[in-house]
Structure 1
Amino acid sequence: MKLTYLGLALASLTGSVHAADLGATDDPIKLAVNEWTGQHVSTHVAGEMLKAAGYKVEYVTAGYMNMYQAMSDGELHAALEIWSSNVSDDYAKQVEAGGVTELGDLGLDAKEGIAYPAHVADMCPGLPAWEALKDCAQKFATAETLPAGRLVDYPADWGTPGADRMTGLDLPFKAVPAGSEGALIAELRASTEKGSPLLITFWQPHWAMSAYDVKFVDLPVGEEACFNDPAWGPNPNAVNDCDFAPTRIFKASWSGLADKWPAAAEILTNYTMSVEDQQPLMGQIDVDGQSVEEAVAAWMAANEATWKPVVDAATK
């Protein structure tokens, strides 16, 4: 997929900033901060762009699966990285009710799936074919899961997509939710360093995909019928017997955003983030130990020609 870059399609405009176009600059715009590093990067870059336009910004920790009621109520004002393959039903309900408005695609080329470090293929002959997991599940077993194999799933707040696929494909694995994104990384690191078996729910873009040579299991192609019709797919008795649906990553806001902060709504609508920009920042934070604020500030300073046209187009 062709990667998009911040503001390449936007021309820088000239003129002076008009306060009326900015709206209520005395009131802070509250951006939702969820549980993974890539989302922190996407959110802080957007927030710093809003600050450059003259806004006050607050970064508010919010549960990814249940933040949409707060957004509909105007307690949160935008979420910058929503994954279509793992979004709660409440999102659609709030959009339909009129309290939440979609702001378009973020632009990341993304994939989610069931994954393993490359060395695990030697322990489970037949990988990456999903059928291979039927015969080698006990190699992934722990005291917690015996006799089933162990799948390290997403943190509980992110839903249960890994568990859903183990059930859908009738695989002898028990899904154990990780405590956080950091816990998922710790599992990949430990498996790679020890050469131990690991099956994990994971995604790209993520710096760990390269650092730990992570591969995806080949699952039946995800399509709408798989999620609604048990008769579809290899297991006639269950839904979710397929891969994740093709993933779209998008942005959304409180529906009152454009009325209260017109230029901010335009900035967030036109804002995009590429894999090539996001993934190195994630590595600087999770591997090199920089704070999100440090990494994003350095990126903003070095890439003004990339993001500033988006701000200028909305404010001048």
Structure 2
Amino acid sequence: MPNTINRVRCAGIGLALMLAASAPVAAADLGAKDEPIKLAMLEWTGAHVSTHIAGQLLEKLGYKVEYVTAGNFPQFSGLADGSLSASVEVWMNNVGDIYPKTLAAKQIEDIGKLDLKTREGWIYPKFMETVCPGLPDWTALNKPDCVKALSTPETAPNARFLDYPADWGSRAATIIADNNMPYTAVPSGSEGALVAELEAAEAAKTPLVMMFWGPHYALAENDVGWVTMPPCKEQTNEHCITPPDVDKIVWSGFGAKWPAAYAFLKAFKMDAGEQEKMMLAVDKKGEDLDAVVKAWIDKNEAVWKPWVDGAKG
């Protein structure tokens, strides 16, 4: 989940070339192939899909891969000290203060876009347009009847806004405050809790406004509207929600240690529609993540083979 900053590549590339000149060709291409590449596994299923596709393809290149559970902000500490090797689906609107600090310190490297077509903002079940006439315009949320419908014992007299889990980071509470909206942002417990509440609200026609993002399988199964957002008090990530970029971030020593893996990850892309299909299989149909990813890889060699072949070259 999701500003483009200058990349710092020269040191890693230079060292990779030095290694290539001083070692046998195969070893130089792969680098430290006996040391596992540790990929960050973030909380949402889309990131699981992207990460496991990257992981299985890295294994085809000849690498060992480990998947390490990591929080959205804490991952940058791991990437900075090398205890994590790479994170392939970093939503650039939720990177906090630690990302620019570790990037400026040259502890991490941003190696480019994942090319994942994204959407993020405030959503509501479509029936809410009768509860809060005027939606999707955000001013409809401030009308007394709408506030009353969304109020809960936990938030009264304010309305309740269902937010991301606390450790994901979010701009919702800031935007609510910026625009003096009578809402209280209440963090959800997890991605699963967000989806469960959306589905329950749809089924029971319970009023709900919440933070959400796409791609996500839930958007294919629930009829939702997207709020036309309030004006930004400041043109910053903390005060605005815009379609987020999704980048790939590696430990600063990654390119020198695993040159072919570095080239592969720079080329690696993820299609949002394909990702949603795999998320649906995992989250709703209960299929095994690795099996779903393997099936995609088996059917899509024409997509990924250029990435792998280019890395070998």
Fold match by TM threshold 0.5 = yes
Alpha-carbon shift at residue 222 of structure 1 (Å)? 5.2
Alpha-carbon shift at residue 85 of structure 1 (Å)? 1.5
CA RMSD of aligned residues (A): 1.6
Secondary structure of the structure 1 residue equivalent to 2:63: coil
Corresponding residue to 2:242 among 240, 245, 266: 245
Q: Is the 8 A contact 2:278 2:293 kept in 1?
A: yes
1:68-90 CA deviation, whole Å, 9 max, x = no partner?
12111110010111112221110
Asked if 1:155 is matched to 2:165, the reply is: yes
Q: Is the 8 A contact 2:163 2:210 kept in 1?
A: yes
Q: How many residues align?
A: 287
Structure 1 residues without counterparts, runs of 5 or longer: 1-16, 229-238
Alpha-carbon shift at residue 313 of structure 1 (Å)? 1.3
Counting only pairs closer than 5 Å after superposition, residues 1-316 of structure 1 correspond to structure 2 as 18-135=26-143, 136-220=146-230, 225-227=234-236, 240=239, 243-316=240-313
Q: Is the 8 A contact 1:85 1:248 kept in 2?
A: yes
1:221-279 CA deviation, whole Å, 9 max, x = no partner?
659x4339xxxxxxxxxx82xx4034111111001001000000000010000112111
Amino-acid identity (%): 45
Question: Which residue is 2:20 aligned to?
Answer: none
1:75-130 CA deviation, whole Å, 9 max, x = no partner?
00101111122211101100000110001000011111011111111111010000
2:170 maps to a residue whose letter is T
Alpha-carbon shift at residue 297 of structure 1 (Å)? 1.3
Structure 2 residues without counterparts, runs of 5 or longer: 1-24
Alpha-carbon shift at residue 145 of structure 1 (Å)? 1.0
Question: Which residue is 2:3 aligned to?
Answer: none
2:294 maps to a residue whose letter is A
Q: TM-score, normalised by structure 2?
A: 0.88
- Cα distance change, pair 39–107 in 1 and its aligned pair in 2 (3 A): same
In 2, Cα distance between equivalents of 1:290 and 1:19: 37
Q: Is the 8 A contact 2:121 2:242 kept in 1?
A: no
In 2, Cα distance between equivalents of 1:166 and 1:187: 21
Secondary structure of the structure 2 residue equivalent to 1:226: coil
2:293 maps to a residue whose letter is V
Alpha-carbon shift at residue 207 of structure 1 (Å)? 1.3
1:119-143 CA deviation, whole Å, 9 max, x = no partner?
1111110100000111111211111
Q: Is the 8 A contact 1:154 1:161 kept in 2?
A: no
Secondary structure of the structure 2 residue equivalent to 1:86: coil
1:282-312 CA deviation, whole Å, 9 max, x = no partner?
1111111112212111111111221122111
Secondary structure of the structure 2 residue equivalent to 1:107: coil
1:280 maps to a residue whose letter is K
1:227 maps to a residue whose letter is T
